[in-house]
Amino acid sequence: ILNVEQSPQSLHVQEGDSTNFTCSFPSSNFYALHWYRWETAKSPEALFVMTLNGDEKKKGRISATLNTKEGYSYLYIKGSQPEDSATYLCAFRGGTSYGKLTFGQGTILTVHP
């Protein structure tokens, strides 16, 4: 059974704070690591697809890093805003998984004004 773990489960921060969360995944048979943002009553929104060890991706105030050798990825949000409040999900894709993503339980981020 594939284990994709995210921590923390939930996080409350003040507007303007920077924050980060972790995704742990199997280091063997790695193909890609996906990050999603899921706001209430909306569809999950793709943030990043990361495939190479050492990859760093950035989109506005959000960035992510990837370490495939040790099996973890970090997502960073700089200067959090209330509109960043959402559940952040990571998903692991193995080498022969094609369209199968194995999701972590998510980190629920609440940004207080």
Partner 1 sequence: KAGVTQTPRYLIKTRGQQVTLSCSPISGHRSVSWYQQTPGQGLQFLFEYFSETQRNKGNFPGRFSGRQFSNSRSEMNVSTLELGDSALYLCASSLALAGRSYEQYFGPGTRLTVT
Please name which of 111, 85, 83 lies closest in space to residue 15, comparing C-alpha atoms. 111
Residue 20 lies near partner 1 (rule: CB under 8 A): no
Max Cα-Cα span within the chain: 44
- How far apart are alpha carbons 67 and 33 in whole angstroms? 10
Q: Tell me the Ramachandran region of residue 29: left when phi exceeds 0, alpha when psi lies from -120 to 50, beta otherwise.
A: left
Binding mask 60-89 for partner 1 (x = CB under 8 A): -----------------------------x
Residue 100 lies near partner 1 (rule: CB under 8 A): yes
- How far apart are alpha carbons 32 and 9 in whole angstroms? 22
Supply the minimum distance, in Å, between the C-beta of residue 5 and partner 1. Answer: 11
Among 28, 40, 60, 99, binds partner 1 (CB under 8 A): 99
- Kindly list the residues in this chain that would bind partner 1 in the complex (CB under 8 A): 31-32, 34, 36, 42-46, 49, 51, 89, 91, 93, 97-106
